Amino acid sequence: MSEARTSRLHGTGLADRIRVSFEFFPPKTEEMEATLWESIKKLAPLSPHFVSVTYGAGGSTRERTHATVKRILTETSLTPAAHLTCVDATRDEVDGVIRNYAAIGVRHIVALRGDPTAGAGTPYAPHPGGYVNAADLVAGIRRIADFEVSVSAYPEKHPDSPTVDADIDMLKAKVDAGASRAITQFFFENDLYFRYLDRVRARGIDVPVVPGILPVQNFKQAKNFAERTGASVPRWLAERFEGLDDDIATRKLVAAAVAAEQVIDLVDRGVTDFHFYTMNRADLVYAICHLLGLRPDAKEAA
Ligand code: FAD
């Protein structure tokens, strides 16, 4: 019988070099809090490089983001990264948040401009006394303490950006200001990521550009999300979920297969770091990480 699969994942020890990070959002209700913590407990034994917690539009989750990050620090051995935006806040207010993080032991911030207060797609105006954009925020964070700073990247360009080159100029400004990692918006066609990466490298940007992976828990929701963020949804993806709106069990199996296919192809093409948009759910992400060769660390699981 011939070898079933010859992915780079097998037989090369590559699985030992795979590094994953998980993104969560701060819960709004007690029920959501319970779901989040079940997910964190399930995923923690996979020893992620870091876990990040998003910051709500307009700073609406400021306290909840802080509380979630603090609980991760005190109750787990995970390394948290706190997302932070420039929206609707003065520099002093944002600096206060940064100093608070430094004081409780947070060492990694994901620095973002954020969406306009009136919603994505409306014109962005910086707060009169605030950080003007993500690059300005990165510089501010680096002035306050020696944080590791990650920033966003858009393989299909940010909807506000006139061109991919303008977008890459912004990424360059963020890296020049001190960011040491970019995490991409999710994408479904790996070629888009590699084409973007070529342009980023040609522009002299040499930080890791970690692919953001969105396992599709709910196709309709993912499609809406994609429309708002400028990510394209290929026809083949829609076809795979066709007719499954009311069939959660099959949808989940298909979702796992689709995401597995995407990450294994990325591995085969040399990618070793992955950032998962978990939507606070562990099952699909756990299964995909298992396929990537990650196994629970006995110490973390205890
Ligand atoms: P930037 O990188 O600063 O800009 C993106 C592009 O828009 C650039 O190409 C730039 O040229 C262009 N641009 C910026 N400002 C202008 C302008 N005034 N006029 C014209 N073009 C402009 N959002 C949250 O609210 N909370 C989060 O926790 C969060 N986490 C995220 C994590 C990741 C990994 C990613 C990819 C996105 C996240 N977002 C989050 C979404 C993000 O805030 C939005 O996409 C926002 O609209 C842009 O912020 P940014 O830092 O990505 O922008």
Do the domain assignments include residue 177?
yes
Q: Tell me which residues are annotated as active site.
A: 23
Note the pLDDT of residue 56. 87
What are the tens digits of pLDDT across the range 12-51? 667 788 999 999 999 999 999 999 999 999 999 999 999 9
Query: In percent, how much of the chain has pLDDT > 70?
Result: 93
Query: Is a pLDDT exceeding 70 seen at residue 2?
Result: no
CB-ligand 1 contact for 161 (6 Å cutoff) = yes
Do the domain assignments include residue 155?
yes
Query: Is a pLDDT exceeding 90 seen at residue 241?
Result: yes
Note the pLDDT of residue 17. 87
CB-ligand 1 contact for 114 (6 Å cutoff) = yes
Do the domain assignments include residue 94?
yes
Atom of ligand 1 nearest to the CA of 83: 28
CB-ligand 1 contact for 212 (6 Å cutoff) = yes
Q: What is the mean pLDDT of residues 194-214?
A: 98
Nearest to 186 by CA among 170, 208, 168, 210: 210
Note the pLDDT of residue 12. 60
**How far is ligand 1, taken at its centre, from the CA of residue 269, in Å?**
27
pLDDT band at 118 (very low <50, low <70, confident <90, very high): confident
**How far is ligand 1, taken at its centre, from the CA of residue 1, in Å?**
50
List the CATH number of the domain containing 45. 3.20.20.220
Sort 219 into a burial class: Cβ within 10 Å, 0-12 / 13-18 / 19+: buried
The beta strands (E) that lie in the chain are given as: 19-24, 50-53, 80-85, 108-112, 148-153, 181-186, 209-213, 273-277
Query: Is a pLDDT exceeding 90 seen at residue 158?
Result: yes
Q: What is the mean pLDDT of residues 147-176?
A: 96
Do the domain assignments include residue 218?
yes
Q: What is the mean pLDDT of residues 234-250?
A: 95
Note the pLDDT of residue 263. 96
Number of domains in the chain: 1
User: Using CA positions, which residue lies closest to atom 40 of ligand 1?
Assistant: 114
Q: Mutate which of 112, 117, 174, 199 to test ligand 1's pocket (most atoms within 8 Å of Cβ)? A: 112
Q: Domain range holding 28? A: 18-233+273-285
pLDDT band at 182 (very low <50, low <70, confident <90, very high): very high
Atom of ligand 1 nearest to the CA of 115: 47
User: Using CA positions, which residue lies closest to atom 5 of ligand 1?
Assistant: 158
Least confident of 48-57, 111-120, 156-165, 194-203: 111-120
Note the pLDDT of residue 274. 98
pLDDT band at 3 (very low <50, low <70, confident <90, very high): low
Note the pLDDT of residue 1. 47
**How far is ligand 1, taken at its centre, from the CA of residue 231, in Å?**
13
**How far is ligand 1, taken at its centre, from the CA of residue 111, in Å?**
9
Do the domain assignments include residue 239?
no
CB-ligand 1 contact for 113 (6 Å cutoff) = yes
Q: Helices 134-144 and 164-176: crossing angle, nearest 10°?
A: 10
**Three-state SS at 49:** coil
Q: What is the mean pLDDT of residues 206-224?
A: 95
**How far is ligand 1, taken at its centre, from the CA of residue 158, in Å?**
7
Do the domain assignments include residue 101?
yes
Do the domain assignments include residue 253?
no
Do the domain assignments include residue 1?
no
Report CA-CA distances (Å) from 269 to 53, 172, 193, 265, 276.
29, 24, 11, 6, 18
